[in-house]
Chain A
Amino acid sequence: QKEVEQDPGPLSVPEGAIVSLNCTYSNSAFQYFMWYRQYSRKGPELLMYTYSSGNKEDGRFTAQVDKSSKYISLFIRDSQPSDSATYLCAMSRNDMRFGAGTRLTVKP
């Protein structure tokens, strides 16, 4: 079993839809939880960063962490074609572990 599981998709939604991206993990020691966005042929860029359980909102993006269920989510409201990218979840304590990434396409 991988430490971090993420559905690779692909996920295709119409413009304006609410997108839900999810990861599960097995190591209860993880303390920091991140989402990265990666455009085609580019490096991943940090999108959201949270510590411990709860929600964090930044514009159209909301990151949610449920440590009791070992489950994290990223919600994108009013999705735009410019949101089309691969989204990677990541989590860490002493080192960093990444999900495989979910490829998202938002169609105009």
Chain B
Amino acid sequence: DVKVTQSSRYLVKRTGEKVFLECVQDMDHENMFWYRQDPGLGLRLIYFSYDVKMKEKGDIPEGYSVSREKKERFSLILESASTNQTSMYLCASSFRRVGQGVNTIYFGEGSWLTVV
């Protein structure tokens, strides 16, 4: 089975703090993704990466950055957390390269971030 592991399930951070969300996948997938999920807004893509050290902006990249130093690991960084970044963050991975079609993606369990 595909395993996407998000290291932190529940976090509470203060406004202005730097926040790191870590994600590891064990299936040698090329593509990795970060989404946020909010009631009424559904899943929104923040960033994705199709290779080590490569990154592409998604639909809502503002206020976020990412890092992919190893194929299996994809980190989401909130440089200066704000209350409007309180949300559920989902990491995902897939085995197809962008441009060759993305047919399925597999999600982690999610990280619930509250910024106070």
A92 in contact with B107 (CB, 8 Å): no
Task: Confirm or deny: A94 has a beta carbon within 8 angstroms of a beta carbon on chain B.
Answer: yes
B42 in contact with A99 (CB, 8 Å): yes
* Alpha-carbon distance A51/B104, docked complex (angstroms): 11
Task: Confirm or deny: B52 has a beta carbon within 8 angstroms of a beta carbon on chain A.
Answer: no
Residues from chain A with Cβ under 8 Å of B110 in the complex: 41-43
0 or 1 for each of A48-61: is its CB under 8 Å from B? (1 = yes)? 01010000000000
A94 in contact with B107 (CB, 8 Å): no
Interface size counted on chain A using CB atoms at 8 A: 23
Task: Confirm or deny: A13 has a beta carbon within 8 angstroms of a beta carbon on chain B.
Answer: no
Chain B's closest residue to A43 (CB) is B107
Chain B's closest residue to A42 (CB) is B109
Residues from chain B with Cβ under 8 Å of A43 in the complex: 4, 90, 107-110
* Alpha-carbon distance A36/B92, docked complex (angstroms): 13
Chain B's closest residue to A4 (CB) is B42
* Alpha-carbon distance A16/B101, docked complex (angstroms): 37
Task: Confirm or deny: A45 has a beta carbon within 8 angstroms of a beta carbon on chain B.
Answer: yes
Report B's interface with A, CB cutoff 8 A. 4, 33, 40-43, 45, 90, 98-99, 101-110, 112
